[in-house]
Chain A
């Protein structure tokens, strides 16, 4: 039966049902169900978070100054972003201003995380949707070298380099230790790269794996340790002491020059490896135009990277802030996280209970009361689900809406908004990519557009690291070494009942934490994460969210090898922010794919 959604999609669930559970190479647990028509084109899509995320309830009653440490543990990927969002929420609630240097250092950490996350995402989680590693084993090293040298001046490009790598890879594959290369659909007809491009990309997969360790050292330097750098309400926990090399953990000249070196490497890798690879791969997939979903209609970004401390208005944020509705790029709407009428979470299709489920709740009034029940048309049992009933509750993710609209968030949303604002930092690189690939601007609204925006943003973030590094040095030269404001550290100074909101642009999109502090303890804590926006289920009016919309009308070459689904879902860089222990015991299987 076909249904028309208010946001313009025609859903038809009459065809065969394909279930992918879990979707692999993501953080957390996601299940996708789709219906295919007779031509194997997706005509209905259902996105389900299969993990209960109870962060809100474990923070109740705890010290708000500790919340960052807990939020840093909810997932293995955006640890630092959650910590930053959390300290901002507490600072907002308690009216704490941070010093300029703290803002700069936080930006450096956040930008380093963007670069790190984008590189790891592209090479280690997403590239294998486009790159056939096994095909690379039959590449000609000399031709691979010519290809690499034609697209970049990156030095590791000799025939000997690729030959060595190829034989190492062969040995590795033959020994049966496929590692992260197992569980893929090698040889799938949707792979379009020639063997040489596959080998080049695989070489860069390994180089990226090697390089990413350098980026993290920025977190070690400013956050004291890595993994899990330290954060601080009121600033950053690292003193600046340029005249003394002895202070433990202090930022000195030696550490600063190390930071500078890493920034230079980040810029070089982004510009000479990541971006050229992206363009080279994209040039073979120009006709794969699927996956736009709602990106051509509704996108939103909270904005981030404050140029100056303590000012979170659009003009001061270097990453764009605002919302676009109905594809009208001529109008950027203001977003207000405090307005109870703007951001609301709905649960008619989520496994939670509200007293009145016809309305959405603003996060400050958020309720996290689980209610796991299946609809009448679901197949299987609660423990062995065969097919969900999307007309009822079907996901552990809530449906956040902005003024009632489903919104896409993430690098593509940021770039569309920056583009619409005419901001040359975003518009010019986008126009250059479109010109180079000879594509219209509408090509942006696609799976590849999302993947390209992330690569452009990586280059942007590496450049901005340099900008903030220079700012930090200038401040220190002027004698400003303050990194923390401890004026309101003591709970005795706090009002008895306050609320705050903190936001960032996580690598995968708009992230907000809403906190309610009562009598110096956390009364309520709600996090609306980017993947909630993108992966959330239908809302009270039947609008589908970004993931579901992005899968619509995509043809699948082989229904039980859902490479096309993975490709589009991975382009969002999914992160279902949960925990580690909930893996299936048969971890060697790619996924449980059922075709009905």
Chain B
């Protein structure tokens, strides 16, 4: 069975884009062997169930509230994952990662080996914004954690021979372009709903 490296989250919401930016960077940095799928899961929620059923081992990058120092990394394995991501919804009809895992288990063939590489977000309230520096700085280390984990399953990753674009990210949404083309503060109003933002802060 192929291995999976999956990034989840919405890249339009600042640090919420961590997971997707990780897989974008992953595909830029490594040559992807045939034994590995690298996927930008976005906020597809329930639709990600199949990925967890069709791959093993699985590495998931995500921005998660662990109650840690913002910008810090935490790594969680297997049966501990649902508890850490409980209440955290991956958008699709409010199906969270724990529901996605539960569905895969109910269908009887969820991956046995799963690793969650989570970052504690700094900023989520900035719609149209990008990763904050503290979160962005954690991408290289997060990739290395995934690399080590996959090596434990015999998947040896090699660096790309020469710099190449990421085959994973949707064209037009590449990190650099996403940041460079952002409308300036004056033309783009970036306020939000106090109730929703309060919830985000409490996250």
Q: Residues of A with Cβ closer than 8 Å to B?
A: 22, 24-27, 29, 50-52, 54, 57-63, 65-66, 68-70, 72-77, 79, 120, 124-125, 168-169, 172, 177-180, 206, 209-210, 212-213, 216, 227-228, 230, 351, 368-370, 372, 382-385, 396, 579-588
Quick one: CB contact mask for B77-89 with A, threshold 8 Å, 1 for yes? 0000000001111
Q: Which of B91, B103, B173, B202 contacts A580 (CB 8 A)?
A: B91
Whether B94 and A24, one on each chain, are in contact in the complex, defined by CB atoms closer than 8 angstroms, is yes
**Which residues of chain B in 176-196 are interfacial with respect to chain A, using CB atoms and an 8 Å cutoff?**
177, 181-184, 187-196
Known: A120-B46, A588-B87. 4 other contacts (CB 8 A): A227-B40, A579-B16, A581-B16, A582-B199
Q: In the complex, A25→B128 CA distance in Å?
A: 26
What's the nearest-Cβ distance from chain B to residue A77, in Å?
6
A27-B92, A580-B9 are contacts. A179–B181 as well, Cβ < 8 Å? no
A180 to B88, alpha carbons, bound, how many Å? 14
Question: Which one of A59, A77, A125, A179 lies within 8 Å of B99 (CB-CB)?
Answer: A179
Pair B91/A27 contact, Cβ less than 8 Å: yes
Residues from chain B with Cβ under 8 Å of A588 in the complex: 86-87
Task: Collect the chain A residues with CB atoms within 8 Å of residue B128's CB.
Answer: 54, 57-58
* A22: B residues at CB distance < 8 A: 94
Cβ–Cβ < 8 Å partners of B48 in chain A = 227
Chain B hits for A57, CB < 8 A = 128, 183, 187-190
Contact of B203 among A209, A383, A583 (CB under 8 A): A583
Asked whether any CB of chain A lies closer than 8 Å to the CB of B12, the reply is yes
Given contacts A58-B188, A580-B9, A582-B199, contact A383 B42 (CB under 8 A): no
* CB of B90 closer than 8 Å to a CB of A: yes
Say whether B91 contacts A579, CB under 8 Å.
yes
Contacting A75 at CB < 8 Å: which of B91, B108, B194?
Answer: B91
Is B31 on the interface with A (CB-CB < 8 A)?
no
- State how many angstroms separate the Cβ of B9 from the closest Cβ of chain A: 6
Judging by beta carbons under 8 Å apart, are A66 and B172 in contact?
yes
Q: List 20 A-B contacts (CB under 8 A).
A: A25-B93, A26-B94, A27-B93, A52-B191, A60-B187, A61-B181, A66-B172, A66-B177, A66-B181, A169-B106, A179-B105, A180-B102, A230-B171, A383-B198, A396-B193, A580-B16, A581-B16, A587-B86, A587-B88, A588-B86
A75: chain B residues at CB < 8 Å are: 43, 91
Q: Which residue from chain A places its CB closest to the CB of B95 in the assembled complex?
A: A180
Task: Tell me, in angstroms, the Cα distance from A50 to B170 when the chains sit together.
Answer: 29
Interface centre among A178, A384, A585, by most chain B C-beta atoms within 10 angstroms, is A585
Whole-angstrom distance between the Cβ of B26 and the nearest chain A Cβ: 15
Residues in A with CB closer than 8 Å to B93 are 25-27, 76-77, 124-125
B interface, size bucket: 35 or more
B180 vs chain A, min Cβ distance (A):
10
Given known pairs A168-B108, A212-B47, the reply for A180 and B99 (CB within 8 Å) is yes
Do A210 and B13 touch across chains, with their CB atoms under 8 A apart? no
Q: How far is the CA of A56 from the CA of B197 in the complex (A)?
A: 19
A382 to B191, CA, bound (A): 14
Neighbouring A residues of B155 by C-beta, 8 Å: none
Q: Does B96 contact A (CB under 8 A)?
A: yes
Task: Tell me the smallest distance from the CB of A218 to a CB of chain B, in Å.
Answer: 13
Q: When A54-B190, A58-B12 are in contact, do A76 and B43 touch as well, CB less than 8 Å?
A: yes
* Residues of A close to B50: CB separation below 8 A: 213, 216
- Bound-state CA distance A442–B174 (Å) is 51
A579/B92 in contact, CB under 8 A: no
Chain B stretch 92-135: residues in CB contact (< 8 A) with chain A: 92-96, 98-99, 102-103, 105-108, 121, 124, 127-128
Of B42, B108, B177, B190, the contact of A73 (CB 8 Å cutoff): B42
Bound-state Cα–Cα, A63 to B181, Å: 8
Q: Let me know if A227 and B39 touch, CB within 8 A.
A: yes
Instruction: Evaluate contact between A73 and B194: CB separation under 8 angstroms.
Output: no
B200 at the interface (CB under 8 A from A): yes
Contact A580 B193 (CB under 8 A): no
- State how many angstroms separate the Cβ of A497 from the closest Cβ of chain B: 17
Q: How far apart are B96's CB and chain A's nearest CB, in angstroms?
A: 6
Distance in Å from the Cβ of B153 to the closest Cβ of chain A?
23
Question: Contacts A206-B106, A582-B199, A587-B89 hold; do A52 and B192 have CB atoms under 8 A apart?
Answer: yes
Please judge, given known A-B contacts A584-B87, A585-B203, whether A60 and B102 are in contact too, CB under 8 Å. no
Q: Which residues of chain A are within 8 angstroms of B190 by Cβ–Cβ distance?
A: 54, 57
Given A50-B193, A51-B193, A372-B194 in contact, is the A73-B91 Cβ separation under 8 Å? no
* Residues of A with C-beta under 8 A to B187: 57, 60-61
CB atoms of B193 and A124 under 8 A apart: no
- Assembled-state Cα–Cα distance A68/B124 (Å): 23
- A230-B172 Cα distance, complex, nearest whole Å: 10
Q: Which of A22, A65, A73, A206: most chain B CB closer than 10 A? A: A73
Which of B105, B173, B195 contacts A70, CB < 8 Å? B173
A76 touches B196 (CB 8 A): no
The interface residues of chain A lying within 8 Å CB-to-CB of B177 are 66
Chain B, range 6-45, C-beta contacts under 8 Å to A: 9-13, 16, 39-45
Give the complex CA separation of A587 and B48 in angstroms.
19
- Shortest CB-to-CB span from A113 to chain B, Å, is 11
Can you list the 7 inter-chain pairs with the closest CB atoms, starting with the nearest? A587-B87, A179-B102, A58-B128, A66-B172, A76-B43, A580-B91, A213-B50
